[in-house]
Amino acid sequence: MTSAHQYSNEWDKLNQQLPKWLEQSREQYVNGKVASYIPELSKAPINALGIHMIDSYGNHITAGETKLTFTMQSISKVFTLLLALMDNGKDVVFDKVGMEPTGDSFNSMLKLELVQPGIPFNPLINAGAIAISSLIAGGSPEEKSERVLQFFRKLSFNDTLTYDKAVYHSEAESADLNRSMAYFLKDNGVLKGNVDDVLDVYFRHCSILTTSSDLARMALVLAYDGTDPITGISLVPRQYVQIAKTFMVTCGMYNASGEFAIEVGLPAKSGVAGGILTMVPGKYGIGIVGPALNAKGNSIAGVHLLTTMSREMDWSIF
């Protein structure tokens, strides 16, 4: 338990040190690359780095380029998982996706054929998230996508959250691998219905436009087990948030999740547009953007910054 005195020392230290830590981490961008396999993402500023933190009283600390907008990409998979769990319950969801990390890259299909019964290993890899998209309740892809958007708006307390149309079209036009994966899943009996419809829901939620502030706000709800500490509103059942946070620890940072657990020790999810959503459980929600990615697909400067912060503030949950 952190006392009020310790808490204010910690917040003061963060306020003082964060700009310096951020500038040191920013330099890492020279060793990274902006994602280009979705052509529209390659336009992001490679040397940008921004962080937004929120505590349970609604206090904010920000540093760097916090006004930068970017698409959620894989970060959205945490929240579609939550919605699918709320729509269907645990048994139905885990009939279609597993609970284990793969050790492979996020868009790999390798284990789908190697390991029977051919269901995706977990909901945070592309194959798993596509299967999750098919479980979102709704009579049409439009209705499903609208439910996803409304859910994301509720969790971010931002009614203006919407899609980036250019990124959505860019991904839909360049998604041969995800498309082939979806057909494979359909043949294996994992996906029901029309493959294009399922993919449309998936592409849309990946292209929801956000800021580090939105990510921090959504993370705060997870940091407090689904009940927003600022308003007291209960948004997601605690047992589902526990599932999502566990996946964030085991699979959230692609196939660098083990290293991230050792070096940072916080539940986190990254996306290929350079976002990272993380939290200090029971304390803060954190959103980061840094479009230069390392070889594993995580924001190179963002991971560096979180490594410094966790070490300096003694944040690891392990």
Q: Residues with catalytic annotation?
A: 74, 77, 202, 254, 272
Residue 166: CB minimum distance to ligand GLU, A = 14
* 169, 214 contact by CB (below 8 A): no
Among residues 272, 277, 280, 303, the one that binds ligand GLU under rule CB under 6 A: 272
Q: How far apart are CA 207 and CA 128, in angstroms?
A: 17
Number of residues that bind ligand GLU (CB under 6 A): 11
Pairing of strands 208-210, 275-280: unpaired
CA atoms within 13 A on the CB side of 234: 4
Pairing of strands 50-55, 162-163: unpaired
* 254, 271 contact by CB (below 8 A): no
Among residues 106, 151, 168, 247, the one that binds ligand GLU under rule CB under 6 A: 106
- Closest by CA to 273, choosing from 74, 51, 29, is 74
Residue 77: CB minimum distance to ligand GLU, A = 8
Residue 171 in contact with ligand GLU, rule: CB under 6 A: yes
State which residue, 206 or 303, has the beta carbon closest to ligand GLU.
Answer: 206
Residue 101 in contact with ligand GLU, rule: CB under 6 A: no
Residue 298 in contact with ligand GLU, rule: CB under 6 A: no
Among residues 155, 206, 249, 289, the one that binds ligand GLU under rule CB under 6 A: 206
CA atoms within 13 A on the CB side of 253: 26
Residue 213 in contact with ligand GLU, rule: CB under 6 A: no
Structure tokens at 279: 């939290």
3-state secondary structure of 276: strand
Residue 108 in contact with ligand GLU, rule: CB under 6 A: no
Residue 294 in contact with ligand GLU, rule: CB under 6 A: no
State which residue, 164 or 171, has the beta carbon closest to ligand GLU.
Answer: 171
Q: Where do we find the tokens 């964030």?
A: 248
Residue 255 in contact with ligand GLU, rule: CB under 6 A: no
Residue 189: CB minimum distance to ligand GLU, A = 22
Residue 55 in contact with ligand GLU, rule: CB under 6 A: no
- Closest by CA to 99, choosing from 73, 80, 77, 125, is 125
Residue 292 in contact with ligand GLU, rule: CB under 6 A: no
Task: Tell me whether residue 219 is exposed, middle or buried, using C-beta atoms within 10 angstroms of its C-beta: 0 to 12, 13 to 18, 19 or more.
Answer: buried
Please report, as residue ranges, which positions from 114 to 133 form the binding site for ligand GLU (by CB under 6 A).
126
Residue 200 in contact with ligand GLU, rule: CB under 6 A: no
- Closest by CA to 277, choosing from 203, 200, 221, 207, is 221
Q: How far apart are CA 174 and CA 242, in angstroms?
A: 34
Residue 178 in contact with ligand GLU, rule: CB under 6 A: yes
Binding site for ligand GLU (CB under 6 A): 73-74, 106-107, 126, 171, 178, 206, 271-272, 297
